[in-house]
Amino acid sequence: MKPLAKSRDGLEGLPLQLIITAIILAITVPMMFGALRNYDRSMTRQNLVEEIDDFAAGVQNLFMMGPGNSQTFEFTASGSAFCRPEQIMFGDNPTGEFQSVIRFRISGMAEEYRVIQSPNVPMMNIENETLEILSGTHMIIAECRTSQLDLNGDGHMPDNYMLLSVSET
């Protein structure tokens, strides 16, 4: 066996090993980041859906208590390293098809819907439109009110609805 200092085997084998290592890294690193991004989006979506479901349950309870009742909800739509909620929309105008729906979109994903049913809870802001918020923590004030319109389409009026606003606190 030749002494290491006089052998050229180390000089020939090292570049080949570095090239193979670089090729393996070039293949695996993008796949790892893609998997991490998908996991991150999934966790952001799961957290947002849980927050929406909690809000919907609270609004349903408030709706069942009847007009004149109000409550402030802390709504957190937090983002993560790779994505964030771009938009959360509550309700619609009095004749809109999304009155009892909370819609949301997370960056890089399609818009999704959560329907508030049993009971359906029509929601709108003070301008009789969709309440729209962005990512972050918001204090949403919900107040049960009565409308002289047939909001639920059952042919009977008046109907109750939730007036939503965002606190400036």
pLDDT at 14 over 80: no
Which 3 state secondary structure label does DSSP give 129? coil
pLDDT of residue 34: 86
Name the nearest CA neighbour of 79 among 34, 134, 139: 134
pLDDT of residue 149: 77
Neighbours of 134 (CB within 10 A): 11
pLDDT confidence bin for 88, thresholds 50/70/90 = very high
pLDDT confidence bin for 157, thresholds 50/70/90 = confident
Mean pLDDT of 64-82: 92
Q: How far apart are CA 49 and CA 112, in angstroms?
A: 10
Name the nearest CA neighbour of 167 among 145, 138, 129: 138
Mean pLDDT of 4-9: 57
Best mean pLDDT range from 23-37, 91-105, 151-165:
91-105
pLDDT confidence bin for 7, thresholds 50/70/90 = low
Proportion of the chain above pLDDT 90, given as a percent: 57
Is the Cβ–Cβ distance between 102 and 41 less than 8 Å? Answer: no
Is the sign of the CA dihedral 96, 124, 43, 50 positive or negative?
negative
Mean pLDDT of the chain: 88
pLDDT confidence bin for 150, thresholds 50/70/90 = confident
Give whole-number Cα distances, 101 to 51, 80, 116, 147, in Å.
Answer: 14, 25, 6, 18
Best mean pLDDT range from 12-16, 132-136, 164-168:
132-136
Could you please report the per-residue DSSP string of 134-168? Answer: -SEEEEEEEEEEEESS-SSSSS---EEEEEEEE--
pLDDT of residue 5: 57
